[in-house]
Every structure is written in C-alpha cells, then in structure tokens.
Amino acid sequence: MKRNLGKSCPVDKFTEKKGNLFFRELENEQVLTLENTHQSVIATGGGTFHVQKNVQILQDNGILFYLMLSPEEAWKRTAVKGIPAFLEKSYPEQAFYAIAEKRLPLYAASSHVTIKAHCLTVEEITAAILNHEEIKHG
C-alpha cells in the first residue's frame, strides 16, 4: 500500500482525505495481488485480518507470523509515532484499546506462528523467524 500510495501521500493522510472505508477497499485489492506470491516478507496493517478472504490468501501463500505485543506496549509504540488517522481523535487511547480487543483474537487465530516480541530486538525477532522449521525445510 505504502509503495502504491507513494511518499507524497502517507497512509494516515490518505485515510484522513478519503476515509477508512475507501482505504480498506484498496487494502483488500492489494491483498488480492498477493496470490501466488512467494519468497516475500509482507507487513500488513492490523485491519487486514477483518476480511476472511484476506486471511485466506495470506495463509495460502506463506507463513503468517504474529509479532505479539501487549496492548499497552503496542499503544506506547503507536503513540510515539503520532496518532493514526483511523483512531477517534477525541479519545485515541480508548479507541486503540477497543480496536485491539477486537483484533488480537483475529491475529492469534490467523497466524501460523506467534512470537512474543515485547522484549526482543529486531535482530532476535528476525532470528526467530529465520529459525522457524517450515522456513528452513519449507
């Protein structure tokens, strides 16, 4: 999505302009283009997993890793970067936790592998992914 929108239009600005529904439609179209994609690392947005067809396409084309964080840690990391456009501006933290409550079970149910990422460095997460049996023997 980011590559297709270009640097001139960050995702949050695009969502503010066009709306979340339009953004999700584009996101769904992007996932469809991933069918038969191999040997790729794909980072999805959290809302991708609300659409079962998206989940199925992603599951059928690779191994889904869920980098699990507590909602509190995820909020801390999100807030540092600035409030995303999809969060209610008047109470973003509460909106974030409400969304997390809905999404976390989807992530857990959809992923093939869960990595508890809270205290891991990027290098440790990368090693955990690369050391996964299905990747080594695939």
Stronger pLDDT, 9 or 42, i.e. the higher one: 42
For 58, other C-beta atoms within 10 Å of its C-beta total: 22
pLDDT score at 3: 55
3-state DSSP assignment of residue 117: coil
Exposure string (b/e) for 81-104, b if CB count within 10 Å is 16 or more? eeebbbbeeeebeebbeebbeebb
Give the integer Cα–Cα distance in Å for 39 and 41. Answer: 7
Report the percentage of the chain scoring pLDDT > 70: 86
Give the integer Cα–Cα distance in Å for 132 and 114. Answer: 11
C-alpha closest to that of 125 among 69, 45, 86, 47: 69
3-state DSSP assignment of residue 38: coil
Stronger pLDDT, 38 or 4, i.e. the higher one: 38
pLDDT at 91 over 90: yes
Q: Where are the domains of the chain?
A: 1-62, 65-138
Cβ neighbors of 116 (< 8 A, separation 6 or more) are 68
pLDDT at 103 over 90: yes
Instruction: Tell me the pTM.
Output: 0.78
The 10s digit of each residue's pLDDT in 18-70 is 777 787 888 888 888 888 887 788 888 888 998 999 999 999 988 999 999 99
pLDDT at 13 over 80: no
pLDDT score at 5: 53
Q: How far is CA 78 from CA 41, 88, 120, 122, in A?
A: 21, 14, 17, 17
pLDDT at 124 over 90: yes
Q: Which residue has the tokens 């970067």?
A: 81
